[in-house]
Structure 1
Amino acid sequence: MSHKKITFYLSHLYQGGAENVMVIVANEMAKQGHVIDFVLAKAEGAFIHRLSSSVNLVDLNLPNPYFAVFGLNKYLRVAQPDVIISSLHLNNICAVLAKKFSGVKKTRVLIRVANVISVKRVSFWKKRLERLALSVFYPWADKIIAVSKNVALDLNSFLGIPNKKILVIYSPSITPEMMAASHEPVDHAWFQSNYPPVVLGVGRQTVVKDYATLLKAFALASKEKDMRLLLLGDGPERLALEELVKELGIENKVEIKGFVDNPFNYMRNAAVMVLPSLWEGLPNVLIEALACGCPIISTDSPGGVREILKDGEYGELVPLRDAQTISDKILDVLRGEKKPIDEHWLEQFKVEYSIKQYLHAMME
């Protein structure tokens, strides 16, 4: 494949799964010799420093991402890339509209969809409006990349997108840099050899992640066995979670540490990681934890969780919002009931495999 001029578009680079994946894909394509622009509505966010020096950062410097369609339109007319790739709904709509209005025929639009849309818990009218907007604008893309088979099924059944327009490409969650970082020492007292086992939670603290259920499960489990709970990540629910920690009387056993640049060494050294989400597209943290050898407990949520864990073969699947079952499974894992991972299974989530699929999608 000849070298292409490829543009990635997001509104910002604050920490998040979609942002992380887009940075990984951009860096890897730049490494392969493609000319990469990474366009942001506003150049801000903790992940900006993760961009390779070979990637050209373009700042539209807009006060609001809703205005991005105009700035992106102007950018496309000047830069005329071969492909533009976007992720997250607002960014995807901006990308297809900007291409439509720019009049640039050579640029192909690939939009990445990372969640099961139909299960989002929003108001009736907001759900109807979102469904209408996505069903109108998404078919304008040349290809739609679904991060899991369940996301692809949802795009077809809920939005009516033809299957021929949808490609399933798993996220390139496992990289050599990630694996190297997982072997770095953990600078935290709880990971010394004489401390109780550590239960880990990693991700943004939002209602969808349902860390409240994990806190309740931990409160139950820690009555049976001495252990600690460490939450890595930040978000709008953090204050509410800190209040719940106090209500449950587990302040001396729980730390909400916030965002860390390297969660992988925590994964390698934790006794178990729990993902209590209400829904997920393809949770990168599950793949990363598996690669780091960390036992997994996850809710059997709509999306790609079952695909990652091979229907429970490589991790425990539990019902949504079931603190008692999560507590029981935590205790089972700490008693030594672990599910070994087949290294061959992880190949499909490695960056080399994923990038080949992205490049193939650009040519279809």
Structure 2
Amino acid sequence: MTTNSLPRILVLGGTGSIGQAVAQNLLAKGYRVTLLARTPAKAQALFASSANLTIEPGDAEDLPRLLAVSRGHDVIFHGINYPYHQWEGTQERMTQNVIAAASQERALIIFPGNIYNFGLTTPIREDSAPAPITKKGAIRVRQEQLLAEAARAGRCRVPNVRLPDFWGPTVVNDGTIPIFEGALTGKALPWIATVDLPHQFVYTPDAAEIISRLLAAGQPEAYEVVNYGGQTVPSVRAFFTRISQIAGHPTVRVRVLPRWLFAVLAPFLPMMKAMHEMLYLYDHSILLDDTGLRRRFPAWRETPLDTAIATTLQWFARHRLNQNFVPAVPVTPPAFETHPASVPSIF
């Protein structure tokens, strides 16, 4: 496949969890990809050299720089995401910058949405009305409103791909690091509030594949919402059990972080305060209904869960712990069945 007939894509947030996966997927398929990176050396270390990859120094908060870099691009992937406690003001301002950049090219903006807009609504359908119950949920609603208004005014087109919690190789945050490094070193795996409810997770290479398939499928409507729920595990405990087994620890040890801990630390630590209001996501199973996407791509199948777990453990072993890793059990279909969100039998 040559690159001449493929759109040129600017990836913002390309060193982050979902942005990195999307950029890697698109490069593997021959797309021309530009990364705007505040730390170009970090981006260069994450990506293999490719004739189709251009790394530009700069910050998307610098609107003139963003406008200059975005010239000639057909698609902008808006993967910029600040730490929770920095969301106020920054998320909307960055989205306005991205809209301005897309408007000068009449470009497509791919926006990875999430479930915060909907509070306790479940299942979340593509036409579900926003019902945020947190500040961060309200911020996400305003971000999506900005994108929808710009698209309907003809300034750009926007597929909003809503996703649940990320995990996978290169996903390094305060949630995933202690899970996968803990599994490799025999430590207890941490979770918040309860580990015995169904929960949706999306393996980032699968999310990236869905995004690239949507891109290849053709021009979307001005503003289009697409839900992709990844896999719904029957409980976080069951998920952790399988991670531990593949890592070589047959008996899982789980450490549940209680709600009161966040309340106590919230006045002293901005991140804990930001997390405190999001605890409802751990007390309830909030699920995306992705029936429409699965009808659209009926042959689509997620990476088998065991394979995804083994790949992620291998990445953490090599890149975080400087160790070799071989799965302790044969990597077969998971010990429990996983379902798309539209299947009610998980309850």
- Structure of larger gyration radius: 1
Instruction: State the TM-score, normalized to the length of structure 2.
Output: 0.42
Instruction: State the TM-score, normalized to the length of structure 1.
Output: 0.40
**Larger relative contact order (Cα-Cα within 8 Å, sequence gap ≥ 6):** 2
